[in-house]
Chain A
């Protein structure tokens, strides 16, 4: 049935937007947890672990996200698991976000000067306390701008999961386009919805980066 683009269509797209935001949050939490572990392992672990994590980061960053998504969706089901599109989407985006967040945060941890480690050591803090009270809080400050910037990438990249049939905003747009045959209206609205989510994050990220520079100038 052909329907025309109207208020109902916008509501339909809005449901897609809710799934996009939900998937982005899952990805950010999943990628955040593994990313932090990987970042610590990459910058402070024993040599073999560093090499392993570095290899993981290099390989994932050199693979298109679409291929990672296809591998999880089509590929892993042959190993005896069936992943519904939502799970395959969340898993592949987490794999992807982990690699990038680990790389960003490794840089932040390594940006903390050696002298801070030595000072913490001189205060007789245990290795865990050094990390918990001295290094990570400072690294966290530096990481805010790039991390929020990467959140924009996560939101935008959830669109790729439309290609395995997960009904988020882009897929909702495709379905609506099939019903209305008004691609210009549909995809412009879809783009506007992404923009409404992403632009504030981009703006916030820039502000955080400026503040960081202002802080170091003093």
Chain B
């Protein structure tokens, strides 16, 4: 018996799909904002912090990298009320996804911080760059350039990972899809449409990351008149 695809009942729910997509984008961007902040803090604590800081940071990173996101969600959503902290599904989702991304991005940031040798910073200072210029041209931009591919890859995984938050009924695209599926009984069509939306989002974001990368890592020439201009140093630093 052949199955006939019928997308009409699913496409009739376009407004719900659109608001689901927007919810997913909001959930992702909130989690990414908080997660990257946690990740940077954890990486700095690990690399530059006191000994206990390094231990705390490493424990956090290993604990979150070696357990599934779904279990982290369950633990925060169902487990925390047990300790007297009650979170809504959306808060628990943001919390869990941020902590998860924080652990992964901490390792990425750490790799970036370790990639810039101390001698390179000293060389920058010796060439007459100000501390701010050294920070910008010698440390942050080159380090960011090294970790950029793995960082954006991780952000894509985080965007796709938000679908798991539907398991605790946080409002996002997969939950909207599951509702449509249960009311229309058009499972295959519903999930194909969801897949198409996620694929589109991923490709759009990859393109945006690429554009931002072009802008961020463009060749920089300091304004004429600055001490470094005569040395044409930043060109060297860039490569």
B161 near A: Cβ within 8 Å? yes
B18 near A: Cβ within 8 Å? no
- Best-surrounded residue of B2, B66, B80, B82 (most CB of chain A within 10 A): B66
From known contacts A157-B68, A184-B82, infer whether A78 and B62 are also in contact, taking CB-CB under 8 Å. Answer: no
User: Which of B36-44, B163-171, B219-227 touches A?
Assistant: B163-171
B203 near A: Cβ within 8 Å? yes
Partner of A187, one of B74, B192, B194, B202: B74
- Per DSSP, chain B at the interface is helix
Q: Are A66 and B82 in contact (CB under 8 A)?
A: no
B121 near A: Cβ within 8 Å? no
Within 8 A of A (CB), among B62-117: 62-63, 65-72, 74-75, 78-83
For chain B, which range describes its interface: under 10, 10 to 19, 20 to 34, or 35 or more residues?
Answer: 35 or more
Complex: how many Å from CA A79 to CA B63? 41
- Per DSSP, chain A at the interface is helix
Q: Chain A contacts of B1 at CB under 8 A?
A: 80
Q: Chain B contacts of A160 at CB under 8 A?
A: 68, 70, 164
- Best-surrounded residue of A64, A79, A163 (most CB of chain B within 10 A): A64
Complex: how many Å from CA A192 to CA B145? 36
Q: Chain A contacts of B194 at CB under 8 A?
A: 67
Q: Are A63 and B65 in contact (CB under 8 A)?
A: no
Complex: how many Å from CA A78 to CA B1? 10
From known contacts A63-B160, A64-B160, A75-B187, infer whether A159 and B71 are also in contact, taking CB-CB under 8 Å. Answer: yes
Which residue on chain A has the smallest CB distance to residue B167? Answer: A163
Within 8 A of B (CB), among A49-65: 59, 61-65
From known contacts A67-B195, A75-B187, A195-B66, infer whether A188 and B75 are also in contact, taking CB-CB under 8 Å. Answer: yes
A131 near B: Cβ within 8 Å? no
Q: Chain B contacts of A159 at CB under 8 A?
A: 68-71
Complex: how many Å from CA A10 to CA B167? 23
For chain A, which range describes its interface: under 10, 10 to 19, 20 to 34, or 35 or more residues?
Answer: 35 or more
User: Which of A27-35, A113-121, A135-143, A169-177 touches B?
Assistant: A169-177
From known contacts A80-B1, A198-B66, A202-B65, infer whether A67 and B191 are also in contact, taking CB-CB under 8 Å. Answer: yes
Q: Chain B contacts of A191 at CB under 8 A?
A: 67, 71-72, 75
A82 near B: Cβ within 8 Å? no
Within 8 A of A (CB), among B26-78: 62-63, 65-72, 74-75, 78
Which residue on chain B has the smallest CB distance to residue A69? Answer: B191
Within 8 A of A (CB), among B167-225: 167, 174, 181, 187-188, 191-192, 194-195, 198-199, 202-203
From known contacts A74-B181, A170-B71, A194-B67, infer whether A67 and B163 are also in contact, taking CB-CB under 8 Å. Answer: yes
- Best-surrounded residue of B74, B156, B199 (most CB of chain A within 10 A): B74
Q: Chain B contacts of A75 at CB under 8 A?
A: 187-188, 191-192
23 A-B contacts (beta carbon < 8 Å): A63-B160, A63-B195, A64-B161, A64-B164, A67-B191, A71-B191, A71-B195, A74-B188, A75-B187, A77-B187, A79-B3, A160-B68, A173-B74, A183-B75, A187-B74, A187-B75, A191-B72, A194-B71, A195-B66, A195-B67, A198-B66, A199-B66, A202-B66
Known: A62-B202, A162-B70, A183-B74. 12 other contacts (CB 8 A): A63-B160, A64-B198, A65-B160, A71-B188, A75-B188, A152-B66, A173-B71, A173-B74, A184-B75, A184-B80, A187-B75, A202-B62
Q: Give 6 closest A-B pairs by Cβ, nearest first.
A: A74-B187, A183-B78, A75-B188, A62-B202, A159-B68, A64-B163
